[in-house]
Amino acid sequence: MGVVHVIPVDDLIEHEEAGDGCPCGPHVEFVSGGQVVVHHSLDGRERTEST
């Protein structure tokens, strides 16, 4: 699997997928076979989304 990035669609910025320099402050989840890098939106959509 390697590294998979989850990036918000149509966000206010272009998210950085290389290195660790994305300004959104993504968090990393370690899963069997690799990592999932979850990027955060800068438009605040997480505040109104339900899980």
pLDDT digits (tens), the chain, 51 positions: 799 999 999 999 999 998 778 999 999 999 999 999 999 999 988 888 776
Neighbours of 36 (CB within 10 A): 15
- pTM for this one? 0.80
Residues 40 and 13: beta-carbon distance below 8 Å: no
Residues 26 and 37: beta-carbon distance below 8 Å: yes
39 to 9, 47: CA distances (angstroms) = 11, 14
- Which residues on adjacent β-strands are paired with residue 6? 38
Q: What pLDDT is stored for residue 51 in this prediction?
A: 65
How far is 13 from 39, CA to CA, in rounded Å? 11
Q: What pLDDT is stored for residue 47 in this prediction?
A: 82
